[in-house]
Amino acid sequence: MSDRADYLGPTYKLGPPSPPPPTRGEVWKGRIRGLLFPPRPELGAFLFAAALGALGAYGLWFSFTLPGRFPSRIDWRAAAALVARDAQPGDAVALSPPWAERAREVLPERLPLRPDLPLPILAFPSYAAEDLPGIRRVWLVSLPRAPGAASRIARELADRSSSVDGPQPLGGIEVTRYELREPERPLYVFPEQLASASVQVGDSACAPDARGGVRCPGRGAPVVARETREIDFLPRTCIRVSPSGDPGRPLTLVFPDVPLGRTLRGHAGIAGSAGLGSAVPVRLRVSVNGEGLGEWEEAPRASGWRRFELDTSKYAGRRLQVSFEVTAAKAPRFAFCFDAATLP
């Protein structure tokens, strides 16, 4: 090789560019590829043992800590004592998680100071859109450390509240009191006043039966009763009706002397799963002093506690007769349920 410089001077041709330095991601990719390929039994055995060891250790931790994540009997008693001492008319208890229904066994069912008034215990999965008529304050009894516990119910109640008191820890239980921002104070709750209603099928009057309901004459002996029934997997206290199956002979419930406000709100649904196999729609017609206010049809093969709301503002402040007329083309094999209340 000559030491002399090229007579044309330095070459004008650039050599190939040197490859850019690998990025950090490429370095790791290469390392991982080198680790995994070709597959080696040692690596497989190590990953297997690591996964087994990690989950085994987690299983041990889970096992040893599980009992401490639930309330003891004394915790439940403390929660019961707290609620019993401070609960007032218009209060209700909500459970979180909703399956924590041991509360029903432990907490008072009625207000200790007013045994004539119930203390409802609610186990709804959500309170965001749930109507809570007559409830001013909610005591949330929660199991915060239980596996599967979530704060959603607390958040939903907080969103509806003007003030929150707590949470008060009682061992494995927390109790929090929520003052609802806009409590609904119904003027008249129809299921609670069923005893004052007159019931008839067509022109035939129905008579009270021995079980606190009303039994009507005629085919199928239609029944009207105030019951708590399962509708869409939740307990709903309602007026249970089994219509006659003759559209010409509607089942009519007449409530005299009902104080009316601006709204009549209700819900309707089919109890249990019996409606799923039925093809019979049920119609509910609401009238005030004989004047039609609205109509509702409960479709067959549907589940749900569907809400209806009727404008009664033109009757607001008056006490009038309200009637509910229930008809079905055929006598259904399910129980139709509805509730209603007048609101200011």
Q: Are strands 207-208 and 204-205 parallel, antiparallel or unpaired?
A: unpaired
Q: Are 324 and 286 in contact (CB under 8 A)?
A: yes
> Least CB distance from residue 99 to other proteins, whole Å?
4
Interface with other proteins, residue 59, by CB under 8 A:
yes
> Least CB distance from residue 212 to other proteins, whole Å?
9
List the one residue from 45, 81, 113, 221 that touches other proteins (CB under 8 A): 45
Interface with other proteins, residue 55, by CB under 8 A:
yes
Distance CA 293, CA 322 (A): 10
How does 94-132 read in b/e, with b if 16+ C-beta sit within 10 Å?
Answer: bbbbeebeebeebbbeebeeeeeeebbbbbbeebeeebb
Alpha helices in the chain (DSSP H): 24-36, 41-65, 73-86, 102-106, 152-159
Interface with other proteins, residue 290, by CB under 8 A:
no
List the one residue from 233, 248, 290, 291 that touches other proteins (CB under 8 A): 233
Q: Are 140 and 87 in contact (CB under 8 A)?
A: no
- Report the site for other proteins in 257-286 (rule: CB under 8 A): 271-273, 276
Task: Please count the other Cβ atoms lying within 10 Å of the Cβ belonging to residue 166.
Answer: 15
Interface with other proteins, residue 71, by CB under 8 A:
yes
Nearest alpha-carbon partner for 172 in 69, 62, 65, 64: 69
Window of 16-24, 94-102, 253-261, 290-298 that interacts with other proteins by CB under 8 A:
94-102
List the one residue from 56, 68, 247, 344 that touches other proteins (CB under 8 A): 56
Of 238 and 343, nearer to other proteins (C-beta) is 238
> Least CB distance from residue 133 to other proteins, whole Å?
18
Interface with other proteins, residue 169, by CB under 8 A:
no
List the one residue from 28, 32, 36, 48 that touches other proteins (CB under 8 A): 48
User: Looking at the chain, how many residues does it have?
Assistant: 344
- Report the site for other proteins in 298-337 (rule: CB under 8 A): none
List the one residue from 131, 179, 192, 227 that touches other proteins (CB under 8 A): 227
Of 7 and 233, nearer to other proteins (C-beta) is 233
Interface with other proteins, residue 104, by CB under 8 A:
yes
> Least CB distance from residue 94 to other proteins, whole Å?
14
Task: Please count the other Cβ atoms lying within 10 Å of the Cβ belonging to residue 2.
Answer: 5
Task: Say which DSSP state 1 is in.
Answer: -
Size of the site for other proteins (CB under 8 A): 50
How does 225-240 read in b/e, with b if 16+ C-beta sit within 10 Å?
Answer: bbbebebeeeebebbb
Distance CA 127, CA 133 (A): 12
Interface with other proteins, residue 101, by CB under 8 A:
yes
Window of 3-11, 129-137, 148-156, 178-186 that interacts with other proteins by CB under 8 A:
148-156
Residue whose tokens read 């002979």: 249
Residue 261 CB contacts under 8 Å (≥ 6 apart), including other chains: 187, 312, 316, 317, 342, 343, 344
Of 149 and 158, nearer to other proteins (C-beta) is 149
What residue ranges bind other proteins (CB under 8 A)?
41-42, 44-46, 48-49, 51-53, 55-60, 62-63, 66, 70-71, 97, 99-102, 104-105, 109, 121, 143, 146-150, 211, 225-230, 233-235, 271-273, 276
